[in-house]
Structure 1
Amino acid sequence: MIYYYDDLEFEQERQFDLYVLRKYLAKYYGLDKALALIRTNAKNIDGLAKALGKKDIGFFCLYFLRELFVPSSENTSRALSKVHYDVFEELNKMFITEKDSRHKEEFILPRGTGKSTIVNTSVACYSHCYGISTYTVVVAKTEDLQHQFIAEVRKCLEFKKVRECFGNLINTKKRVVNKEELELDNDTKVQSFTWNGQIRGTKYNSKRPNIIICDDILKMDDILNDNAKEKCVTKYYTEILPAGDKARVLNGVKQGIDTKFIVIGTPLASDDFINTIREDSSFEVFHRSVCEFDVDDYFTKNKYWQKYREILFNNKNKDRLKDAENYYYKYIDKMKFPTLWEGKYIPFELANDYFTKRLAFMQELMCDCQNVGDIWITYQDKISPKELNEIRFEKTVLTIDQGASKTSRSDFTAFTVLGKSNGFYYVREGKLKKFDSKTEFDLYITEIVNLLKAWKDITHVFLEKNVYKGIDATRLEERIREDRELRSRRIKVETPYSTQNKEQRISTITDKINSGQIKFNELNEEYNKQVFSYRGEKFTPHDDGIDSLEMAVNNIDQIQTRTILHIGSFNDLYR
């Protein structure tokens, strides 16, 4: 057998043993002491390696799990990349150097990096070989992945070096060994559950898990709507986290470790479970993308990649894929770019994914936590209040998209004062606020009244019916009748109904935004930012602003009103 490591070839196993042992001993003790240790322990190299393995998870994997982590003439493994060694260092902090202070970490990594193997398998094998964990639980997305994890850990624990140094840990005659559980002969246990399973209260030998890993548990069903997203988050915080425990302290001495929580995955939506954990300050976050640069900017501005795209999309050419590849290799010096794992990710293959399936590329390979959806808005034309104040508006309307509560994750109530002049639409005022629908209904109505008084040429108010079911329209009409100033303006309050879904409706105004036909008040920064960040219904945490804007644009042309010269509103609002 030949081992391939550090661009070297090792034809004898002992050569590889000594090379990797010297490399990692030198990491901790310097080269001279490393060589001295090897000489002193020449008759017990595996014993020295066992002691070093407890100190470094990366070394443990390379030495004891080499069949999995080191390329050889008898396996299909690739050489590890820098990102994998970075992951090992994170795990070292969690289980060795900072074990008493680092208890939670999330790993956000691209598809294809072997994240389940590099984290799950290495942690399970390391912690159970050394007895660091009595009970480890891994939560998988599906039953197949659940079984696959247990099978891989079992295979690794039966590797030759593991058996030679740690004994025969697998005992099918006396221990529970099946597709879901792996009870080892050192009185420890590895178990896997599916996400839909129940881990609350799970124990082994009366002990709660020392390690709980959630491995890529999200499915598309988990991001279909806000309820699905919230259900996922709630399950983790109310069921998974409480399944852990603190280490016991006896006579001031800590026995064992606090439960370690690891989350692995890629984001499917900007406010999904993965991104919620990412924002949790109690978690460390290790986040890498397949390319560490702005891919949108790079691919759209590089003339060689634009030519490549032209070849790729030439449907009249049946050999377009091969021709595009040939073009890449012809100009490789102009087109090659660094990737997270050079031996795995090929630039032209990544480009194919980007150009043909950008959404999946951003989700699965860039692990983009903010821009995973398609780009809808590419340009916003913003003008000053002074410029707006000089325009003669033909029509002005107020539209409101309501939110139901005031929590950090809840929707906003979006107000859009839209004027139209000479074929252009002007967001004269775009505003986002939060009201609790049960306790702050009157505040919400008062906010509308104040806007009507500030913008004296508003003739129509359009309200969504989702939250208040038209009750707010009735109450607003009452307030208008009760107000001497407002009742004289004959303001119409309407609750329009649309048969189109949200994305269909919003798609009717995106060209108007991108072309500059819709212009925005430069002072409304929060509103403008929310509109600009729209990435589609599934991938936008808050789309209230663009919802309100769409309602305004698509209703203002339907009304008939006299032209009114707007004077003074900006002086009142921005003085």
Structure 2
Amino acid sequence: MYYFDNLEFSNEENLDIYLIFKYWNKHYDVKLNMNDSKAIENVLANKKDIAKELGRIDIGFFAFYYLNVDFIPSDNNDLRSLDKVHLEIFEELNRMFVKDEVDKEEFILPRGLGKSTVINKLLAAWCHCYRYSRYTVVIGKREDDAIGFIDATKEFLKLKKVTSTFGILVNRAEDRIVNKQELELTNNSKIYAVGSGTSIRGTTYACDDGVFRPMIILVDDFINENDILTDDAKEKIIKKYNDEILETGDKAVYRKGKKTKAATKFLVIGTPLAADDFINAIKKDAEFKVFHRSVVNFNPDKYFLENEYWQRFKKILMNTKDDNRVKNAENFYYDNIEKMFFNTIWNDKYRPWELASTYFTKRLSFMKELMCDCEKVGEIWIKYMAKMDIKEILDRKFDKTILSIDQASTNTRKSDSTAFTVLSNSNGFYFVRKGLLEKFDSKTEFDKYINRTIQILKEYKEITHIVLEKNVYKAVDATRIEEEIAKDKELRFRNIKVITIYNTKNKDARIMTITDKINSGQIIFNEEDKEYNDQVKEFRGQHFTLHDDAIDSLEMAVNNIDEIKVYKKSTMIFLKRNLL
């Protein structure tokens, strides 16, 4: 028995007829009626030719018809029925390959969606059955992934339906290269699968028909946790893709205004691991179309927090005194399913109570791997921010005032702002009198940065100390600021001290020292500084936060203001000698 479209088919031939009628009516104006016995007779008489043509114009049909053992549930397998999202993926592939409307596309999808099978293995089989691609390169993170891909593709191409229509494509006997990484087919086309550490610069495939550059380059799960540990690691992966992989492709050929050869197709498939990792860098590349789906289409933080039933579920799940808490939580869900059920991207795969368990116990993994959302991926550090109107802030006597600056070292995605924090303390509270984020090019606008600093010193006359990171400019900016202060008639008598700090301590550890002060309301923010305040609130840890300039500057200010010493100017009174 086969199960498709909520129908049951007693044998493969009945399923085949249904698929042919369904996809014929999708693509052709002349419709076929399944109740018409003559139409069925004609389809059966020309089944192979009709199916081959439908497979050429619809990758979804090719999957269901030729590869049904891997795409359609039956009594002989344990497959799940595909969901709407999989059909949407097939349509994206049709737009890219059949219609040639897209040259570069990224698929950002949750773990467990079957994306490697539904996209790259299916695509490799389709492209090489129809010789759409003469040379396909697939790049995975590890060589083992590449070997697994080649093995799976070989099995697809050896299926009886495929060989009966397209011939024997995998045959070592014909002096074809067939090994763990290379699959040369009898129709003079080749699939090459490698790990990310292998260079593909200049790779080509030579056969009797000529020499071919890659027509498809597919990158699948290109990164792992090691690739997001540092900014250098992230940039290395992005640079490899931009400088090597993209350059390996070929551009389209036009003759008399008509395209005679398609450009190399680039596909990136994966799940993001950090806000500025490779997957999110490609997402922001205007040349790439992006197909991005999450496991649910609502905000899980808001939904699970506000739903009383899920909060009760959480209480049961987190009861460490109950050895059966997981099963009891599951039972609670099914007892209250009408109040707790929600749709997922693949209802046959992702069950609500299992997703909720992952969310409550491993929120970080849930947000990254299932929501594909690294903007909210880290744990929430800042849960409360006290804010005041600037007039209310100024209505008090301050003990000390400090200016701290987190300099932008580069103009990249991560470090794109210089953050200024004017901080004063009073009666045990810290007041951010001004929080600024300004963009300066570190190479061409150094003077602009220095001048802005001087301007802030003049505006806030109580500032006695400036704190700077030494890491960025090696204290060159500190020297320049001191020189500008000494030259300025207004500033040179204020005895402003410039302190440089070489930060070697882990950033998360440093910022963690001020989070309690923020959450408790001990640090009070100027409500006018919306951009600065929002950036502070969005901090989720250095690996999962795109912009951390504001909170970096704030940490330096808070952790140094108590250490500085301010000497009050004494007033000297001169008396005439005869009064003594």
The aligned residue for residue 199 of structure 2 is 198
Q: Distance in 2 between matches of 1:93 and 1:6?
A: 23
SS across alignment from 2:198 = coil
Give the residue type in structure 1 aligned to 2:431: Y
The residue correspondences of 1:24-43 to structure 2 (distance < 5 A) are 24-29=23-28, 32-33=31-32, 35=34, 38-43=40-45
Counterpart in the other structure of 2:390: 385
Tell me what 1:368 maps to.
Answer: 373
Deviation at 1:562, TM superposition (A): 6.7
Deviation at 1:143, TM superposition (A): 0.9
Mean alpha-carbon deviation: is it higher for 537-546 or for 374-383?
A: 374-383
The whole-number CA distance in structure 2 between the counterparts of 1:477 and 1:183 is 68
Match of 1:337 among 334, 337, 342: 342
Contact 1:460 1:494 in 2 (8 A): yes
Instruction: Please say if residues 375 and 546 of structure 2, whose CA atoms lie closer than 8 Å, have aligned partners that are also in contact.
Output: no
Shift of 1:359: 0.8
Q: For residues 445 and 402 of structure 1, what CA distance do their matches in structure 2 show? A: 11
Deviations 1:307-361 (A, max 9, x none): 1111111112111111111111111111111111011101111111111111111
> Alpha-carbon deviation of 1:422?
2.9
Specify the code of the residue in structure 2 equivalent to 1:69.
F
Match of 1:88 in 2: 90
Q: Does the Cα contact within 8 Å between 1:394 and 1:563 map onto a contact in 2?
A: no
- Asked if 1:124 is matched to 2:121, the reply is no
Which residue does 1:301 correspond to in 2? 306
Distance 2:238 2:448 in 1: 31
Determine the structure 2 residue equivalent to 1:241. Answer: 246
After TM superposition, the structure 1 stretch with the greater mean CA deviation from structure 2, 405-414 or 346-355, is 405-414
User: After superposition, where does 1:70-149 map in structure 2 within 5 Å?
Assistant: 70-97=72-99, 99=100, 101-149=101-149
Which segment drifts farther, 419-428 or 204-213? 419-428
- Secondary structure of the residue that 2:398 maps to in structure 1? coil
Aligned twin of 2:577 = none
Question: Contact conserved, 2:471 with 2:503, CA < 8 A, in 1?
Answer: no
Asked if the contact 1:393/1:563 (under 8 Å) is kept, the reply is: no
Matching residue's letter, 2:435? G
Q: 2:476 aligns with which of 462, 471, 487?
A: 471
Deviation at 1:16, TM superposition (A): 0.7
Output the CA distance in 2 between the equivalents of 1:385 and 1:253: 64
* Greater shift in the superposed pair: 420-429 or 347-356: 420-429
CA contact (8 A) 2:105 2:291 kept: yes
1:173 equivalent in structure 2:
173
Counterpart contact for 1:395–1:563, Cα < 8 Å:
no
Q: Does the Cα contact within 8 Å between 1:22 and 1:31 map onto a contact in 2?
A: no
CA distance in 2, matches of 1:208, 1:276: 26
Of residues 52, 64, 68, the one that matches 2:54 is 52
Q: Which amino acid aligns with 1:4?
A: Y
User: Is the 8 Å Cα contact of residues 394 and 562 (structure 1) preserved in structure 2?
Assistant: no
1:274 and 1:447, CA in 2 relative to 1: closer, same or farther beyond 3 A?
Answer: same
Paired with 1:392 and 1:535, the residues of 2 have a C-alpha distance of 34
Matches within 5 A, 1:64-463: 64-97=66-99, 99=100, 101-174=101-174, 175-205=176-206, 206-249=211-254, 254-463=259-468
The farther-off stretch of 328-337 and 381-390 is: 381-390
Cα distance, 1:30 vs structure 2: 5.8
Q: How big is each residue's C-alpha offset from its partner over 1:137-156, in whole Å with a ceiling of 9 and x where there is no partner?
A: 11111011100111111000
Query: 1:437 Cα deviation (Å)?
Result: 3.8
Equivalenced residue count is 561
| Per-residue deviation, residues 152-190 of structure 1 (Å, max 9, x unmatched) | 110001111111111111111121111111111111111
Q: Please list the CA deviations of residues 436-475 of structure 1 after superposition, one character each: whole Å capped at 9, or x if unmatched.
A: 4444333322222111110001122111111122232233
Task: Give the Å deviation of 1:249.
Answer: 4.2
| Distance in 1 separating the partners of 2:413 and 2:317 | 44
Give the TM-score normalised by structure 1: 0.93
Assess if the C-alpha contact under 8 Å between 1:132 and 1:256 holds in 2.
no
SS at match of 2:524: strand
Secondary structure, counterpart of 2:309 in structure 1: helix
Query: Contact 1:25–1:34 (CA<8 Å) still a contact in 2?
Result: no
Deviation at 1:374, TM superposition (A): 1.6
Which moved further from structure 2: 21-30 or 178-187? 21-30
- Identity of matched residues, %: 55
For normalisation by structure 2, the TM-score amounts to 0.93
In 1, the alpha carbon distance for the partners of 2:292 and 2:137 equals 23
* SS of match in other structure, 2:472: coil
CA distance in 1: counterparts of 2:252 and 2:30, whole angstroms: 37
1:129 deviation in Å? Answer: 0.8
Q: Distance in 1 between matches of 2:354 and 2:2?
A: 28
Cα distance in structure 2, aligned partners of 1:169 and 1:155: 11
The offset of 1:534, in angstroms, is: 0.8
Paired amino acid for 2:218: I
Q: How far apart are the structure 2 equivalents of 1:270 and 1:532?
A: 15
Cα displacement (A) at 1:288: 0.3
Distance 2:137 2:501 in 1: 52
Q: What's the secondary structure of 1:457's corresponding residue?
A: coil
Higher mean C-alpha deviation, range 34-43 or range 10-19: 34-43
Amino acid at match of 1:178: N
Root mean square deviation, CA, Å:
1.9
Looking at structure 2, the residues matched to 370 and 265 of structure 1 have their Cα atoms a distance apart, in angstroms, of: 16
Q: Describe the shift of the 1:15–1:438 C-alpha distance in structure 2 as closer, same or farther (beyond 3 A).
A: closer
Separation in 2 of the partners of 1:472 and 1:211? 49
- Measure the CA separation in 1 of the matches of 2:377 and 2:512: 18
Pairwise CA distance, 1:517: 2.4
The runs of 5 or more residues in structure 1 that have no matched partner are 565-575
Given that 2:182 and 2:190 are in contact with CA atoms closer than 8 Å, whether structure 1 keeps it comes out as yes
3-state DSSP class of the match of 1:485? coil
Query: Which residue matches 2:485?
Result: 480
Distance 1:83 1:490 in 2: 65
Unaligned runs of 5+ in 2: 570-580
Letter aligned with residue 483 of structure 2: E
Q: Distance in 2 between matches of 1:406 and 1:137?
A: 33
Q: Secondary structure at the match of 1:193?
A: strand
The answer to which of 108-117 and 37-46 deviates more is 37-46
* Residues 326/51 of structure 1: CA separation in 2 closer, same or farther (3 Å cut): same
